[in-house]
Amino acid sequence: MSDPTTYATQSAVTDPGGLADRLDEVPSDLRSLQQAACRLVFHYRAGGDYAENGIAAERIAEIDTRYADRMFRRIFELSDAPLTEDRPPYQRLVGCCRDSAVFFLALARHKAIPVRARVGFATYFRPGWYVDHEVAEVWDPDERRWRLVDPGLGEGHVDQADGMVIDPLDVPADRFIVAPGAWLACRDGDADPERFVVAPDLEEPQTRGWPQLVNNLIHDLAALNKREMVLWDVWGLIESSDAGELTADQLELLDRLAKVTSSDDPAPEELRGLYDRDEFRVPPVVTSYSAAASEPLRVRLER
């Protein structure tokens, strides 16, 4: 088995920088860490009406906050309250599931807990749909397994499909489909790719079906290599997928990627070898299709 402690240290994205001491405010148990992360984000699409929650419309720009140190800095600008306290929506970062995951990773890694982000699709938001989502995996040393934790999910969330209450500290693997599993299921004909979407009501072709499956598969590889990207960043083979130009060789490469990353314990050298390919490696500049911008952004990464 590979060493899970690889994921117990901060990445360039999750490093809280000079605010590390403030993370000591949160106890080290999993529930406290998850609840703290959950209370720090107002979801820019699912959180409700901005005005009714006291949030200025221009604050949607916060969704592009990329690094944890700046995310925490914004949190403490909005309120200097301890991270253990609940916050009204207007004192939370406007963001999405990725931001809840980054907050959780930063908090858990600060406690030297092995944790990594996973990108995939949740079945517990819209019955009949696999909705684009990012969660975390925490190494459980007692059970010797990676446990799925949803940092953005409140207690008592009910899957409307069958009334099951989803435990955010141990999400069943059939309720969150990690991207490689989704890819393989669709390639094998066991799932309909058209049911895999950012949101059922979004009609943009790149946010559903095969382009979204490719997007999440490559984002998941980046996360396994501790590059926790903004979910609307595109690069490498994602851009070819958006253009509908995948070749047979590229499809074969994506199949190989999915088989490696669907393993419970992918070999580090295989993860790194795949990530180092031009098709998958995060370049110094990415294109970001932000909902806060009228045109795609060209973003030069700082770290």
**pLDDT (tens digit, 9 = 90+) per residue, 138-158?**
999 999 999 999 999 999 999
Better-scored residue on pLDDT, 117 or 241: 117
The pLDDT score that the predictor gives to residue 265 is 86
The pLDDT score that the predictor gives to residue 242 is 67
The pLDDT score that the predictor gives to residue 243 is 59
Tokens (6 digits) for 256: 């190989």
Average pLDDT, the chain: 96
**pLDDT tier at 291, thresholds 50, 70, 90:** very high
Q: For 38-86, what is each residue's pLDDT tens digit?
A: 999 999 999 999 999 999 999 999 999 999 999 999 999 999 999 999 9
**pLDDT tier at 171, thresholds 50, 70, 90:** very high
Look up residue 127 and give its DSSP letter: T
Task: Please state the rounded mean pLDDT for residues 249-258.
Answer: 96
The pLDDT score that the predictor gives to residue 245 is 75
Nearest by Cα to 136 from 224, 42, 225: 224
pLDDT > 90? residue 111: yes
Task: Please state the rounded mean pLDDT for residues 157-164.
Answer: 96
Task: Please state the rounded mean pLDDT for residues 95-99.
Answer: 98
CB 75 within 8 A of CB 40: yes
**pLDDT tier at 240, thresholds 50, 70, 90:** confident
Place of tokens 């995996």: 137
Tokens (6 digits) for 12: 């360039």
Output the pTM of the full model: 0.97
pLDDT > 70? residue 35: yes
Cα distances (Å, whole numbers) of residue 163 to 46, 47, 125, 160:
20, 22, 12, 5
Cα distances (Å, whole numbers) of residue 117 to 94, 97, 147, 149, 150:
19, 11, 11, 10, 10
Q: Which residues contact 259 (CB under 8 A, 6 or more apart)?
A: 180, 184
How many structural domains does the chain have? 1
Residue 251's beta-bridge partner residues? Answer: none
Tokens (6 digits) for 13: 């994205």
The pLDDT score that the predictor gives to residue 264 is 84
Q: How far apart are the first and last CA of the chain?
A: 30
Give phi and psi for 89, each to the nearest 5: -55, -35
Give me the amino acid identity at 36: A
Strand spans (E) along 7-56:
41-43
pLDDT > 90? residue 193: yes
